[in-house]
Structure 1
Amino acid sequence: MNAEWFQQQLALKRLSQRLLARYLGLDPSAITLMFKGKRRMQLDEAARIAEFIGAPIEDVLSNAGLVLEGIRSKRINIVGHIEHNNRLVEDEVSTQDTFIVPSNIPEGTVGIRVLNTLSPLHRAVLYFRKENIVDAGSIGRLSIVTLPNGEAYLAYVDRGTEPGLYNLKFIGVEGCDKSVPSGGRPFPLDDVLLKNASPILWIKP
């Protein structure tokens, strides 16, 4: 953990660790422990930190020490891409390439490429294993979610006000966009039904 780099990035933007903690929904002590190397940064946290400080995701990952730990080469199918509105578009023909992934990536994992210039994840490859349910591991994490109309999106998932309902927060989306399922309403989406949700397992810049 290169804490000095993170502190410099916060200082350049005139931001504080407390504001970062609030943005991530964490106690300020969790940020302190993370910068001291006593708490491991999670991948979804890295993506949100990149958005918060306006830095490339690869810089956040490398300075957090998340790039080179426990990795190996593996052939992964790239099955689609994320558009500017965070919608997942499945490619008609999947491509396959060799990627560096963590050793614990499960079988059945596929990749999607982010093509959203507004997102800190632009051009990154995200790995996930598609689930047919709302995976409990997707709560509080960046995930691929499918709405009742069958459209799939990249979003952070939190529990809604009632059982079976969920709140979605999108990154790299400005204002309203009538091409997204909110019907032009501002983000985030609150108390929506989901067909399934699959957490992002790894991010390759």
Structure 2
Amino acid sequence: MAEINKSYFEHLLANKRMSMRQLAERMQMSHSQLSVTFSGKRRLQLDEAVLISEIFGEPLTRVIEASGVPVGPSAGARLKVVGAAGGDGTVSHIEAVQAPSVAMVDLPENAIAIQCRTSETSLAWMDGWTLFCSEPNGVDPDSVGRFCFLKIKDGPAVLATIKRGYEEGTVNLSGPYAAENVRIEWSTPILATKN
């Protein structure tokens, strides 16, 4: 993950004559949590980036990039799209041979892509996005606190941010897909987006 562009967020606040405390209140989060995020010690969550985009009228891609997540476009090795995310955050499998290819660089050799097909849903702002991650291979230890592609045990594959669960061996999910105290079979963090 790249370093957060703190001056970008300070500039947004100054232009709106808004304090960080006021922004935190509008986002319904604590001032300290937002401060830790803007200092680069906590990752900005996707739903928080959406709120910042809406509050300041900034393109979501610019907010995401300023938070330290690389955003396309670029060129390089071609990948097949292997899944489609719906408006509820679940990901259905697509036969890779029938899916379009997209170009990206700086991804691992085992990278895969997921396309968002979310028009006319609450996630319409993600429609057409392509998300890139490594091919799943168990639960990635770097998944907690990150936006991931994951499989719920005895449930669907989904897109969500993983947080520690309230019960031993469980996680809580937020973002496009939300659930509490679920067990996961595998997870892989989203490495980049192209929209």
Consecutive unaligned residues in structure 2, runs of 5 or more: none
Pairing of 1:59-70 with structure 2 (within 5 A): 59-61=62-64, 67=70
Q: Structure 1 residue 160 and structure 2 residue 165: aligned?
A: yes
What letter matches 1:97 in structure 2? S
Give the counterpart of 1:99 among 96, 103, 108: 103
How many residues align? The count is 179
Distance 2:130 2:48 in 1: 17
**CA deviation map 1:7-30 (0-9, x unaligned):** 379779xx8343478649963433
For residues 66-102 of structure 1, the C-alpha deviation after alignment (integer angstroms, 9 at most, x for no partner) is: 5579x6522111112101111101112443534233x
Matched, 1:27 2:29: no
**TM-score, with normalisation over the residues of structure 1?**
0.69
8 Å contact from structure 2 (residues 151, 187) kept in 1: yes
Aligned 8 A contact 1:138 1:157 in 2 = yes
Query: Which TM-score applies when normalising by structure 2?
Result: 0.72
- Cα separation, partners in 2 of 1:9 and 1:74, compared to 1, 3 Å: farther
Q: Aligned pair in 2 of structure 1 residues 144, 26: CA closer, same or farther (>3 Å)?
A: farther
Distance 1:198 1:41, change over 3 A: same
**Structure 1 runs of 4+ with >6 Å offset:** 8-12
Q: Is the CA contact (8 Å cut-off) linking 2:71 and 2:193 kept in structure 1?
A: no
Counterpart position of 1:75: 78
C-alpha distance 145-11 of structure 1, shift in aligned 2 (>3 A): farther
Kept in 1: contact 2:145–2:162 (CA 8 A): yes
Would the aligned equivalents of 2:64 and 2:71 in 1 still touch at CA under 8 Å?
Answer: no
1:182 maps to none
User: How far apart, in 1, do the equivalents of 2:187 and 2:155 lie?
Assistant: 12
Pair 111,93 (structure 1): closer, same or farther in 2 beyond 3 Å: closer
When the two chains are superposed, the root-mean-square deviation of aligned CA atoms in Å is 3.5
Q: 2: distance between equivalents of 1:132 and 1:161? A: 25
Q: Does 1:58 align with 2:36?
A: no
CA distance in 2, matches of 1:160, 1:24: 20
Name the CA distance, whole Å, in 2 between partners of 1:67 and 1:121: 16
CA distance in 2, matches of 1:196, 1:25: 33
Q: State the AA in 1 paired with 2:24.
A: R
Superposed, 1:163-178 pairs within 5 Å as 163-171=168-176
Letter in 2 for 1:74: A
Letter in 2 for 1:76: L
Q: 1:3 aligns with which of 6, 9, 18?
A: 9
Does 2:47 align with 1:48? yes
C-alpha contact (below 8 Å) 2:27/2:51 kept by paired residues = no
Question: Residue 133 of structure 1 aligns to which amino acid in structure 2?
Answer: G
Following the alignment from structure 1 to structure 2, what is the Cα–Cα distance between the partners of residues 79 and 199? 16
